Copies of this chain bind each other. A is one copy, B any other.
Amino acid sequence: MLANVPRLKALMRKDGFDAVIATCAENVTYLSGFWAMSQWVRRGPQAYVLFPGEGHEPTIIVNSSLLDLVPDQNPWISDIRRYGYFQIDTDRSVQLDAADQLQHQLFSSKAYKNSVDALVGAMKERGIERGTVGIDEMGITPQCMDQLQAALPDIKFVRCFSLFERVRAIKTPREIEILRHAARVTEGAIDAALSIAKEGVTEREMLRRFNAHLVENDAAPVVGCIGFGNRSAMINVQPSDRKLKNGDLIRFDVGGRYRHYRSDMSRGAALGDPGEKIRKYYAAVEKGVLRGYDIIKPGLRVADLFKEIVATVQREGIPHFARSHVGHGIGVDGYDPPNIAASSVDVLEEDMVICVETPYYELGFAGLQVEDMVRVTKDGAESLMSLPTGLRIL
Protein backbone atom coordinates (compact mmCIF):
# COMPACT_ATOMS: atom_id res chain seq x y z
CA MET A 1 0.00 0.00 0.00
CA LEU A 2 1.18 3.51 -0.82
CA ALA A 3 -0.71 5.43 1.86
CA ASN A 4 0.41 5.83 5.45
CA VAL A 5 -3.02 4.91 6.83
CA PRO A 6 -2.08 4.87 10.54
CA ARG A 7 -0.75 8.42 10.19
CA LEU A 8 -3.84 9.51 8.28
CA LYS A 9 -6.07 8.15 11.05
CA ALA A 10 -3.97 9.85 13.73
CA LEU A 11 -4.05 13.23 11.99
CA MET A 12 -7.79 12.91 11.32
CA ARG A 13 -8.35 12.36 15.06
CA LYS A 14 -6.08 15.28 15.91
CA ASP A 15 -7.87 17.61 13.49
CA GLY A 16 -11.31 16.35 14.48
CA PHE A 17 -12.41 14.97 11.11
CA ASP A 18 -15.19 12.38 10.94
CA ALA A 19 -14.15 11.56 7.38
CA VAL A 20 -11.84 12.91 4.68
CA ILE A 21 -12.28 12.99 0.92
CA ALA A 22 -9.37 12.92 -1.52
CA THR A 23 -10.16 14.71 -4.80
CA CYS A 24 -6.95 15.65 -6.62
CA ALA A 25 -5.04 13.16 -8.73
CA GLU A 26 -2.10 12.86 -6.34
CA ASN A 27 -4.22 12.26 -3.24
CA VAL A 28 -6.65 9.87 -4.94
CA THR A 29 -3.77 7.71 -6.16
CA TYR A 30 -1.89 8.02 -2.87
CA LEU A 31 -4.83 6.99 -0.72
CA SER A 32 -6.30 4.23 -2.87
CA GLY A 33 -3.50 3.11 -5.15
CA PHE A 34 -5.96 3.80 -7.97
CA TRP A 35 -4.70 5.87 -10.89
CA ALA A 36 -7.73 7.55 -12.45
CA MET A 37 -6.11 8.48 -15.74
CA SER A 38 -8.31 11.34 -16.87
CA GLN A 39 -7.76 13.44 -13.73
CA TRP A 40 -3.99 13.09 -14.26
CA VAL A 41 -4.00 14.40 -17.83
CA ARG A 42 -6.75 17.06 -17.75
CA ARG A 43 -8.39 19.60 -15.43
CA GLY A 44 -11.93 18.83 -14.43
CA PRO A 45 -12.51 15.06 -14.49
CA GLN A 46 -13.66 14.06 -11.02
CA ALA A 47 -12.51 11.02 -9.04
CA TYR A 48 -12.68 10.81 -5.26
CA VAL A 49 -11.76 8.57 -2.35
CA LEU A 50 -14.02 8.76 0.68
CA PHE A 51 -12.11 7.69 3.79
CA PRO A 52 -14.48 7.54 6.75
CA GLY A 53 -12.03 6.51 9.44
CA GLU A 54 -12.76 3.75 11.97
CA GLY A 55 -15.70 1.43 11.53
CA HIS A 56 -16.59 2.25 7.94
CA GLU A 57 -15.26 1.03 4.62
CA PRO A 58 -13.57 3.53 2.27
CA THR A 59 -14.90 4.05 -1.26
CA ILE A 60 -13.46 4.98 -4.64
CA ILE A 61 -15.73 7.10 -6.84
CA VAL A 62 -14.87 7.13 -10.51
CA ASN A 63 -16.32 7.76 -13.96
CA SER A 64 -17.61 4.65 -15.71
CA SER A 65 -15.09 5.28 -18.50
CA LEU A 66 -12.22 4.39 -16.14
CA LEU A 67 -13.49 1.11 -14.71
CA ASP A 68 -11.26 -0.96 -16.98
CA LEU A 69 -8.28 0.29 -14.95
CA VAL A 70 -9.44 -1.59 -11.84
CA PRO A 71 -8.38 -5.17 -12.70
CA ASP A 72 -4.76 -4.32 -13.58
CA GLN A 73 -4.33 -1.91 -10.66
CA ASN A 74 -6.09 -4.01 -8.06
CA PRO A 75 -6.57 -1.19 -5.51
CA TRP A 76 -6.86 -2.17 -1.84
CA ILE A 77 -10.24 -0.42 -1.60
CA SER A 78 -12.86 -2.77 -3.06
CA ASP A 79 -15.97 -0.60 -2.76
CA ILE A 80 -15.98 1.20 -6.12
CA ARG A 81 -18.86 3.41 -7.22
CA ARG A 82 -19.23 4.63 -10.73
CA TYR A 83 -21.05 7.50 -12.34
CA GLY A 84 -21.98 8.36 -15.89
CA TYR A 85 -22.92 6.31 -18.93
CA PHE A 86 -20.38 4.29 -20.86
CA GLN A 87 -21.28 1.57 -23.32
CA ILE A 88 -19.44 -1.74 -22.97
CA ASP A 89 -20.55 -4.95 -24.66
CA THR A 90 -19.75 -8.50 -23.61
CA ASP A 91 -19.22 -11.61 -25.69
CA ARG A 92 -21.59 -14.11 -24.07
CA SER A 93 -20.22 -17.01 -26.13
CA VAL A 94 -16.87 -17.22 -24.33
CA GLN A 95 -15.68 -17.81 -20.77
CA LEU A 96 -14.41 -14.43 -19.55
CA ASP A 97 -11.00 -14.32 -17.87
CA ALA A 98 -10.78 -12.93 -14.32
CA ALA A 99 -10.04 -9.35 -15.42
CA ASP A 100 -12.94 -9.30 -17.86
CA GLN A 101 -15.24 -10.85 -15.25
CA LEU A 102 -14.38 -8.08 -12.82
CA GLN A 103 -14.93 -5.45 -15.51
CA HIS A 104 -18.26 -7.00 -16.43
CA GLN A 105 -19.29 -6.92 -12.78
CA LEU A 106 -18.24 -3.27 -12.36
CA PHE A 107 -20.07 -2.22 -15.52
CA SER A 108 -23.17 -4.01 -14.22
CA SER A 109 -23.16 -1.98 -10.99
CA LYS A 110 -25.42 1.01 -10.42
CA ALA A 111 -24.32 4.12 -12.35
CA TYR A 112 -24.88 7.32 -10.41
CA LYS A 113 -25.81 10.42 -12.36
CA ASN A 114 -22.63 12.32 -11.49
CA SER A 115 -19.64 12.31 -9.16
CA VAL A 116 -21.35 14.23 -6.35
CA ASP A 117 -24.42 11.97 -6.38
CA ALA A 118 -22.12 8.96 -6.00
CA LEU A 119 -20.20 10.60 -3.17
CA VAL A 120 -23.32 11.70 -1.34
CA GLY A 121 -24.79 8.21 -1.73
CA ALA A 122 -21.72 6.61 -0.19
CA MET A 123 -21.66 9.13 2.66
CA LYS A 124 -25.34 8.68 3.52
CA GLU A 125 -25.00 4.89 3.52
CA ARG A 126 -22.26 5.30 6.10
CA GLY A 127 -24.34 7.68 8.17
CA ILE A 128 -22.08 10.65 7.43
CA GLU A 129 -24.68 13.40 7.31
CA ARG A 130 -23.39 15.78 9.98
CA GLY A 131 -20.13 16.52 11.76
CA THR A 132 -16.85 17.74 10.26
CA VAL A 133 -15.56 16.32 7.01
CA GLY A 134 -12.23 17.20 5.44
CA ILE A 135 -12.35 17.85 1.71
CA ASP A 136 -9.20 18.01 -0.40
CA GLU A 137 -9.92 21.31 -2.15
CA MET A 138 -7.42 20.85 -5.00
CA GLY A 139 -9.33 18.44 -7.22
CA ILE A 140 -13.04 18.99 -6.71
CA THR A 141 -14.41 21.70 -8.99
CA PRO A 142 -16.14 24.69 -7.35
CA GLN A 143 -19.38 23.60 -9.03
CA CYS A 144 -19.15 20.11 -7.50
CA MET A 145 -18.24 21.61 -4.12
CA ASP A 146 -21.38 23.74 -4.25
CA GLN A 147 -23.49 20.68 -5.09
CA LEU A 148 -21.90 18.66 -2.30
CA GLN A 149 -22.54 21.30 0.33
CA ALA A 150 -26.11 21.75 -0.88
CA ALA A 151 -26.77 17.98 -0.71
CA LEU A 152 -25.35 17.68 2.81
CA PRO A 153 -26.16 21.01 4.47
CA ASP A 154 -25.51 19.79 8.02
CA ILE A 155 -21.90 18.83 7.35
CA LYS A 156 -19.12 21.30 8.05
CA PHE A 157 -16.68 20.82 5.18
CA VAL A 158 -13.11 21.90 5.96
CA ARG A 159 -10.38 22.16 3.33
CA CYS A 160 -7.82 19.44 4.02
CA PHE A 161 -5.27 19.32 1.18
CA SER A 162 -2.64 20.28 3.75
CA LEU A 163 -3.61 17.32 5.95
CA PHE A 164 -2.91 14.98 3.03
CA GLU A 165 0.44 16.71 2.57
CA ARG A 166 1.31 16.11 6.22
CA VAL A 167 0.31 12.45 5.94
CA ARG A 168 2.40 12.05 2.78
CA ALA A 169 5.47 13.53 4.47
CA ILE A 170 6.28 10.19 6.14
CA LYS A 171 6.76 7.53 3.49
CA THR A 172 5.71 3.89 3.63
CA PRO A 173 8.10 1.07 2.63
CA ARG A 174 6.37 0.72 -0.76
CA GLU A 175 6.79 4.43 -1.47
CA ILE A 176 10.46 4.33 -0.54
CA GLU A 177 10.98 1.37 -2.85
CA ILE A 178 9.36 3.25 -5.75
CA LEU A 179 11.26 6.48 -5.03
CA ARG A 180 14.52 4.54 -4.93
CA HIS A 181 13.79 3.08 -8.34
CA ALA A 182 12.68 6.47 -9.71
CA ALA A 183 16.01 7.94 -8.58
CA ARG A 184 17.99 5.11 -10.17
CA VAL A 185 16.24 5.48 -13.53
CA THR A 186 16.73 9.25 -13.53
CA GLU A 187 20.43 8.90 -12.75
CA GLY A 188 20.67 6.52 -15.69
CA ALA A 189 19.06 9.17 -17.88
CA ILE A 190 21.68 11.76 -16.80
CA ASP A 191 24.40 9.27 -17.71
CA ALA A 192 22.73 8.60 -21.04
CA ALA A 193 22.49 12.31 -21.84
CA LEU A 194 26.13 12.91 -20.91
CA SER A 195 27.22 9.95 -23.01
CA ILE A 196 26.63 12.02 -26.16
CA ALA A 197 28.39 15.15 -24.88
CA LYS A 198 30.87 16.59 -27.35
CA GLU A 199 31.37 19.93 -29.04
CA GLY A 200 28.39 20.83 -31.19
CA VAL A 201 25.78 18.70 -29.42
CA THR A 202 22.75 20.80 -28.48
CA GLU A 203 20.83 21.07 -25.23
CA ARG A 204 17.80 19.68 -27.05
CA GLU A 205 19.68 16.64 -28.31
CA MET A 206 20.80 15.92 -24.77
CA LEU A 207 17.21 16.23 -23.51
CA ARG A 208 16.01 13.79 -26.17
CA ARG A 209 18.57 11.25 -24.98
CA PHE A 210 17.61 11.91 -21.37
CA ASN A 211 13.90 11.43 -22.04
CA ALA A 212 14.47 8.36 -24.20
CA HIS A 213 16.22 6.67 -21.29
CA LEU A 214 13.28 7.49 -19.01
CA VAL A 215 10.62 6.08 -21.31
CA GLU A 216 12.70 3.01 -22.15
CA ASN A 217 12.64 2.36 -18.39
CA ASP A 218 8.89 2.96 -17.95
CA ALA A 219 9.26 6.44 -16.45
CA ALA A 220 7.63 9.61 -17.79
CA PRO A 221 9.50 12.87 -18.41
CA VAL A 222 8.40 15.70 -16.10
CA VAL A 223 11.20 18.22 -15.55
CA GLY A 224 14.05 18.36 -18.05
CA CYS A 225 16.12 21.46 -17.36
CA ILE A 226 19.46 21.06 -19.15
CA GLY A 227 21.46 24.21 -19.84
CA PHE A 228 24.94 24.92 -21.21
CA GLY A 229 27.27 27.80 -20.35
CA ASN A 230 25.52 30.98 -19.24
CA ARG A 231 22.16 29.36 -20.02
CA SER A 232 22.75 27.07 -17.04
CA ALA A 233 21.91 30.11 -14.88
CA MET A 234 18.31 30.05 -16.14
CA ILE A 235 16.39 28.49 -13.25
CA ASN A 236 14.14 26.23 -15.34
CA VAL A 237 16.26 26.24 -18.49
CA GLN A 238 14.31 24.60 -21.31
CA PRO A 239 16.71 22.91 -23.72
CA SER A 240 17.35 24.88 -26.90
CA ASP A 241 19.54 24.60 -29.98
CA ARG A 242 22.50 26.06 -28.06
CA LYS A 243 25.55 23.99 -28.98
CA LEU A 244 28.01 22.64 -26.44
CA LYS A 245 31.43 24.32 -26.48
CA ASN A 246 34.68 23.37 -24.84
CA GLY A 247 34.79 24.71 -21.29
CA ASP A 248 30.99 24.87 -20.95
CA LEU A 249 29.30 23.95 -17.73
CA ILE A 250 26.24 21.68 -18.14
CA ARG A 251 23.58 21.92 -15.44
CA PHE A 252 20.92 19.22 -15.03
CA ASP A 253 17.89 19.83 -12.84
CA VAL A 254 15.74 16.92 -13.86
CA GLY A 255 13.11 14.47 -12.82
CA GLY A 256 10.53 12.06 -14.03
CA ARG A 257 7.60 10.06 -12.78
CA TYR A 258 7.80 6.32 -12.12
CA ARG A 259 4.70 4.45 -10.95
CA HIS A 260 3.17 7.86 -10.19
CA TYR A 261 6.12 8.94 -7.98
CA ARG A 262 8.48 11.77 -8.76
CA SER A 263 12.23 12.02 -8.95
CA ASP A 264 14.12 15.31 -8.71
CA MET A 265 17.89 15.69 -8.81
CA SER A 266 20.68 17.91 -10.01
CA ARG A 267 24.25 17.43 -11.16
CA GLY A 268 26.87 19.47 -12.99
CA ALA A 269 29.32 18.45 -15.66
CA ALA A 270 31.74 20.32 -17.89
CA LEU A 271 33.26 19.70 -21.29
CA GLY A 272 36.90 20.16 -20.43
CA ASP A 273 38.09 22.58 -17.76
CA PRO A 274 35.32 25.09 -16.96
CA GLY A 275 37.70 27.42 -15.13
CA GLU A 276 38.52 28.17 -11.54
CA LYS A 277 35.42 30.09 -10.53
CA ILE A 278 33.08 27.31 -11.61
CA ARG A 279 35.20 24.67 -9.93
CA LYS A 280 35.31 26.65 -6.70
CA TYR A 281 31.63 27.56 -6.65
CA TYR A 282 30.55 24.04 -7.59
CA ALA A 283 32.63 22.62 -4.74
CA ALA A 284 30.90 25.05 -2.37
CA VAL A 285 27.36 24.01 -3.34
CA GLU A 286 28.43 20.36 -3.26
CA LYS A 287 29.76 20.78 0.28
CA GLY A 288 26.45 22.28 1.32
CA VAL A 289 24.63 19.10 0.30
CA LEU A 290 27.30 16.87 1.87
CA ARG A 291 26.94 18.80 5.12
CA GLY A 292 23.27 17.84 5.04
CA TYR A 293 24.23 14.16 5.16
CA ASP A 294 26.37 14.83 8.26
CA ILE A 295 23.54 16.24 10.31
CA ILE A 296 20.27 14.83 8.97
CA LYS A 297 18.54 12.63 11.53
CA PRO A 298 15.16 12.42 13.23
CA GLY A 299 14.66 15.29 15.65
CA LEU A 300 16.71 17.87 13.75
CA ARG A 301 14.80 21.08 13.28
CA VAL A 302 14.33 21.73 9.54
CA ALA A 303 15.14 25.41 10.09
CA ASP A 304 18.50 24.36 11.57
CA LEU A 305 19.19 22.11 8.60
CA PHE A 306 18.53 25.10 6.34
CA LYS A 307 20.81 27.41 8.31
CA GLU A 308 23.65 24.92 8.50
CA ILE A 309 23.57 24.12 4.77
CA VAL A 310 23.48 27.79 3.74
CA ALA A 311 26.30 28.63 6.17
CA THR A 312 28.39 25.78 4.73
CA VAL A 313 28.05 27.01 1.14
CA GLN A 314 28.90 30.53 2.27
CA ARG A 315 31.97 29.38 4.19
CA GLU A 316 33.19 27.02 1.46
CA GLY A 317 33.33 29.53 -1.37
CA ILE A 318 30.18 31.60 -2.05
CA PRO A 319 30.04 34.17 0.78
CA HIS A 320 26.94 35.86 -0.67
CA PHE A 321 24.98 32.59 -1.12
CA ALA A 322 21.29 33.16 -0.33
CA ARG A 323 18.26 30.92 -0.77
CA SER A 324 14.56 30.74 0.01
CA HIS A 325 14.89 26.98 0.57
CA VAL A 326 17.53 24.27 0.22
CA GLY A 327 15.20 21.39 -0.47
CA HIS A 328 11.82 19.80 0.01
CA GLY A 329 10.06 16.49 0.47
CA ILE A 330 9.29 14.35 -2.55
CA GLY A 331 6.75 11.63 -3.23
CA VAL A 332 3.63 11.38 -5.34
CA ASP A 333 4.03 15.17 -5.64
CA GLY A 334 7.29 16.92 -6.49
CA TYR A 335 7.06 19.07 -3.35
CA ASP A 336 5.87 17.19 -0.28
CA PRO A 337 6.59 18.59 3.19
CA PRO A 338 8.93 19.55 4.69
CA ASN A 339 10.07 22.67 2.87
CA ILE A 340 13.66 23.16 4.01
CA ALA A 341 13.49 26.87 4.77
CA ALA A 342 14.44 29.27 7.54
CA SER A 343 10.80 29.72 8.48
CA SER A 344 10.04 26.00 8.80
CA VAL A 345 8.57 24.80 12.10
CA ASP A 346 8.94 21.13 11.08
CA VAL A 347 11.27 18.60 12.61
CA LEU A 348 12.85 15.76 10.63
CA GLU A 349 11.21 12.37 11.14
CA GLU A 350 12.19 8.86 10.15
CA ASP A 351 11.12 7.92 6.60
CA MET A 352 10.77 11.42 5.32
CA VAL A 353 12.26 11.43 1.81
CA ILE A 354 13.71 14.81 1.00
CA CYS A 355 15.57 16.48 -1.82
CA VAL A 356 18.54 18.44 -0.52
CA GLU A 357 19.68 21.09 -2.99
CA THR A 358 21.88 24.16 -3.05
CA PRO A 359 21.38 25.86 -6.41
CA TYR A 360 23.32 29.03 -7.20
CA TYR A 361 22.30 31.07 -10.26
CA GLU A 362 24.46 33.91 -11.57
CA LEU A 363 23.37 35.62 -14.78
CA GLY A 364 26.24 36.09 -17.22
CA PHE A 365 28.15 33.29 -15.52
CA ALA A 366 26.48 29.92 -14.76
CA GLY A 367 24.11 27.94 -12.59
CA LEU A 368 25.64 25.42 -10.21
CA GLN A 369 23.52 22.87 -8.45
CA VAL A 370 23.75 19.60 -6.58
CA GLU A 371 20.49 17.96 -5.56
CA ASP A 372 20.21 14.56 -3.91
CA MET A 373 17.23 12.47 -2.89
CA VAL A 374 17.72 11.43 0.74
CA ARG A 375 15.79 9.25 3.16
CA VAL A 376 15.79 10.13 6.85
CA THR A 377 16.66 6.90 8.67
CA LYS A 378 16.29 5.93 12.32
CA ASP A 379 19.58 7.57 13.20
CA GLY A 380 20.82 9.45 10.14
CA ALA A 381 20.48 9.74 6.40
CA GLU A 382 20.42 7.27 3.52
CA SER A 383 21.18 8.54 0.04
CA LEU A 384 18.89 7.28 -2.72
CA MET A 385 21.61 8.31 -5.18
CA SER A 386 24.49 6.43 -6.72
CA LEU A 387 25.97 9.18 -8.95
CA PRO A 388 28.92 10.97 -7.34
CA THR A 389 28.13 14.54 -6.31
CA GLY A 390 31.31 16.02 -7.75
CA LEU A 391 31.56 18.12 -10.91
CA ARG A 392 32.03 15.62 -13.72
CA ILE A 393 34.74 16.68 -16.16
CA LEU A 394 34.06 15.14 -19.58
Contacts and interface: CB of A to CB of B under 8 A. Distances in A.
Contacts of A90: 362-364
B233 A334 contact: no
A220 B223 contact: no
Given A141-B138, A215-B221, A240-B72, A103 B363 contact: yes
Contacts of A159: 142-143
Contacts of A69: 234, 236, 238
A184 to B, nearest CB: 17
B41 A103 contact: no
Given A104-B363, A215-B215, 6 more contacts: A67-B235, A87-B323, A89-B360, A96-B364, A142-B142, A212-B216
Contacts of A85: 324
26 contacts: A25-B43, A26-B43, A37-B223, A41-B222, A42-B333, A43-B333, A44-B161, A68-B233, A69-B238, A84-B324, A87-B323, A88-B235, A88-B361, A90-B362, A90-B364, A91-B363, A91-B365, A94-B364, A96-B364, A99-B234, A100-B233, A137-B141, A142-B142, A208-B218, A211-B215, A212-B212
Interface string A312-342: 0000000010111000000001110000000
A41 B237 CA distance: 15
A278 to B, nearest CB: 12
Interface string A181-211: 0000000000000000000000010001001
Contacts of A100: 230, 233, 363-364
What are the 5 A-B residue pairs with the smallest beta carbon separation, nearest first? A91-B364, A211-B215, A68-B234, A91-B365, A89-B362
A182 to B, nearest CB: 15
A223 B41 contact: yes
Interface in A67-115: 67-69, 71-72, 84-91, 93-97, 99-100, 103-104
A226 to B, nearest CB: 13
Interface string A16-36: 000000001110000000000
Interface residues of A, number: 75
Given A142-B142, A221-B215, A236 B68 contact: yes
Complex copy number for this chain: 2
A103 B87 CA distance: 53
Nearest to A67: B235
A40 to B, nearest CB: 9
A172 interface: no
Contacts of A323: 87
A383 interface: no
Contact of A65 (B65, B139, B235): B235
Contacts of A71: 234
A362 B212 CA distance: 34
